[in-house]
Structure 1
Amino acid sequence: MTLFRLALTGIFALGLAHTAAAESHTHTHASDDIYHGYFEDSQIADRNLSDWDGSWQSVYPYLKDGTLDPVIAHKAESGDKSAAEYRAYYDTGYKTDVEQIDIKGDTVTFHTGTSSYSGTYRADGHETLTYAKGNRGVRFIFKKAAGDMQAPDYIQFSDHAIAPQNAVHFHLFWGNDRASVLKELTNWPTYYPTALSGAQIVQDMLAH
């Protein structure tokens, strides 16, 4: 009787382990699909500015000083462009003079050189974009409620997530006309936490 119970316990535990592994695999696969822009509209949910809370640095200086060279080389090995073509592509994409962005509560502060300017922002919904190769992305939009004149009227976040979660990096689009900002697809200034070194950012980029 004891052996029988032990056998049943083992079979039950094996079943639970198999189910957990299958669920984990399914979750990972779903997350990968979302990251690459394949998802259902029903999966999208509005997000709060707190998802991007923190201090963030532009990766553009790392592209310019050669820190991101391993990322460019890796993309050229497996992609459809040469290293020079990828460098030009990311030079256009990452280009910005906003070197740091601090987000705390509803306040966003932009740092450019020795100057800075801030605005308070309120959620203004989201928009779904379909790209040329068939995948999609979601822009989470915030509208300025008050603040410095230099602060843009609209900021739009894109970070490969489509529902509330803390961002690990993001692309930011900004300007004073909501519709015009939404049309911007070639320049997407990209930000990582200021606590990360250039080498750590390279590791993260290579992992994706």
Structure 2
Amino acid sequence: MKKVLSCLLAVLLLSLPLSACGRQAPSTGGQAQQTSGPAPSGNDKKISIVATTFPQYDWVRQILGEEGKDVELTLLLDDGVDLHSYQPTMEDIAKISNCDMFLYVGGESDAWVDDALASATNKDMIVISLLEVLGDQAKEEEIVEGMEHTHEHGHEEILPQDIHDRSLSDWKGSWTTIEKTLESGELDDYIADQALENGVDFDAQKSVYAQRWKSNFAALTIADTSIDFGSASADYKYIGYKLVESDQGDSVWYGFEAENTVGDAPRYVAFSDHGAGETHDHEDDHDELAHYHMRYGNESFEALTAAEDWSPTFFSSDAEGSEISEAMAGHGHDDEGELDEHVWLSLKNAQAICTYLSGKLGSLDSQNSAAYTANAKAYNAELAGLDAAYQSAVDAAPCNVLLFGDRFPFRYLVDDYGLEYYAAFSGCSAETEASFETIVFLANKANELKLHDLMVIETSDQSIAKTIIENTQDKNQGILVMDSMQSVTAKDVSSGTTYLSVMENNLAVLKQALA
């Protein structure tokens, strides 16, 4: 996508007239624009401001007030497409390239922005990222109990043409099961982190790992063609590999069949260490401590590769428990989580951002700087009043839990007022179908909490919420809609929709949900 945007920008910028920076008449196309007063004469030009999302656009509009007569304000996402699905058009790129101020959220959905800014004509542009303005107040995307969650294991995609046969000697050495470290408590910190990420309690997460890593063998010694299991041993011949694809990432399992056995050695064993053969080296595998997964049984190699959530795991016998714990903590995870982009759904964030915006607008238009400061102060008073009304409503409510049969972009809002919530998906999730487990969990929560209403966001088709209701005891809950302002259109703006009006409507819905 970056290469495509760069090429589009190159073609586009060559075709733009040098006078394009703010001198053109306001567009009569679909994008929402505010242009007040007569156009300046002579060499003066209108100040051009571009905002990607509606909340930014409306905040600037309120701060500009009547003094913004020489400002052309453009909302890019004005056709109902939300932030997570948006890709800029050539016209959008042109507007950004020549504008004096550009506002965007700054999360992963805005990955296209870097290329747009790198090729911008106006190198003096004021660029404002809402996440950067908030700094440490920005929150990571949250996964709560019961929420649909695809775990990013971090293993690279393995292509069939990259897979090569391997010999048993690739796993040569002395190995000890990870169960010993699990039982010692040295993995407790890792388990606690995973429990938090997966939205379950510590004991439940530990039970998952105990089952996943369960093995009949405490230690193994592997030679070139044989395995000593302690109480049994066998020679093994290689019988092939199988590529297994899953949501946790691709893996290749290598199968071996016993030829000569002593004792109760398994007939089949299968190994996976996320390598594809040829030049694979345990010691160099992503700089991780050497380890692998081994399944075993007497039915068939195919049965081993089809096993679900069972992967006995072995580390080098000389590895300390602390080393294993450290290796697991860094295994397949990014250092930082994805930031929750829906910062505008906090009235407290809105006040902080508006104060910042008024200063930047004043630096862009010093003649009206005092007016912008005054406008922002008056607007923040309205935001603070609504913020207080939210807190009063929550304090007076008999319930403090929301249940969304949908994506949940309201984390900033619920955190502001100490509310709890359950939801099918996180706010930035691209998922559209909830699993049976998620449906049942949310239905049981609705029963347990005796909730009379479920929630969705404005773009929902309500199908998941309806399915949850069908699985509750009473099957008569209502469905309430909270507006996350991710689908505001130019028509809505023309009809008088404002940030405050949406948040006031949301307060009315919240009161009903918590009643």
TM category (shorter chain) comes to 0.7 to 0.9
CA contact (8 A) 1:34 1:160 kept: no
AA partner of residue 271 (structure 2):
F
Query: Which ranges in structure 2 are unaligned for 5 or more consecutive residues?
Result: 1-151, 283-289, 332-515
Query: Shift in Å at residue 203 of structure 1?
Result: 1.1
Counterpart contact for 1:37–1:137, Cα < 8 Å: no
- The residue matched to 2:210 in structure 1 has which SS? helix
- Letter of the 1:203 partner, please give it: E
Aligned mates of 1:34, 1:76 — CA distance in 2: 15
> Which residues of 2 match residues 148-167 of structure 1 at below 5 A?
148-164=262-278, 165-167=280-282
Aligned match of 1:198: 321
Q: 4+ runs of 1 displaced by more than 4 Å? A: none
Q: CA RMSD in A?
A: 2.0
In the alignment, which residue of structure 1 is the partner of 2:291? 169
Return closer, same or farther for 1:69/1:120 CA change in 2, 3 Å cut-off: same
Aligned counterpart, 1:18: none
* Distance in structure 2 (CA, Å) of the matches to 1:34 and 1:71: 15
Cα 1:105–1:37, aligned 2, differ >3 Å: closer, same or farther?
same
With over 3 angstroms needed to count, the CA separation of the structure-2 counterparts of 1:80 and 1:37, relative to structure 1, is farther
Q: 2:308: which partner in 1? A: 185
Distance 2:204 2:316 in 1: 27
> What corresponds to 2:241 in structure 1?
126
Question: TM-score, normalization: structure 1?
Answer: 0.75
Letter in 2 for 1:121: Y
Deviations 1:166-192 (A, max 9, x none): 331111101112132222222211100
Report the more deviating stretch, 35-44 or 120-129. 35-44
1:197 shift after superposition: 0.9
User: SS state of the match for residue 150, structure 1?
Assistant: coil
Query: Counterparts of 1:93-104 in structure 2 under 5 Å?
Result: 93-104=212-223
Deviation at 1:134, TM superposition (A): 6.9
Give 1:80 shift: 4.3
Q: Distance in 1 between matches of 2:248 and 2:293?
A: 20
Q: Which runs of 5+ in 1 are unaligned?
A: 1-32
Q: SS of the residue aligned with 1:145?
A: strand
Identity across matched positions, percent? 26
TM-fit CA distance, 1:83: 2.5
Partner of 2:374: none
Give me the whole-angstrom Cα distance separating, in 2, the residues matched to 1:55 and 1:134: 28
Take 1:35 and 1:154, find their aligned partners in 2: how far apart are those partners? 28
Q: Within 5 Å, give how 1:44-59 maps onto structure 2.
A: 44-59=163-178
3-state DSSP class of the match of 1:157?
strand
User: Is the contact between residue 36 and residue 135 of structure 1 (CA under 8 Å) also seen in structure 2?
Assistant: yes
Alpha carbons 1:169, 1:193 under 8 Å: kept: yes
Residue 128 of structure 1 aligns to a residue in which SS? strand
TM-score by length of 2: 0.32
Cα distance, 1:70 vs. partner?
A: 1.5
CA distance in 2, matches of 1:100, 1:120: 17
Higher strand share: 1
Is contact 2:154–2:249 with CA below 8 Å preserved after alignment?
Answer: no
Higher-RCO chain (CA-CA 8 Å, sequence separation at least 6):
1
Mapped partners of 2:248, 2:178: distance in 1 = 27
Once residues 183 and 173 of structure 1 are traced to their aligned partners in structure 2, the CA distance between those partners, rounded to angstroms, is 11
Q: 1:42 is matched with which residue?
A: 161
Aligned mates of 1:65, 1:53 — CA distance in 2: 26
| Alignment-derived partner of residue 85 in structure 1 | 204
In structure 2, the partner of 1:63 is: 182
* Cα deviation, residue 35, structure 1: 5.7
- Separation in 2, partners of 1:58, 1:203: 16
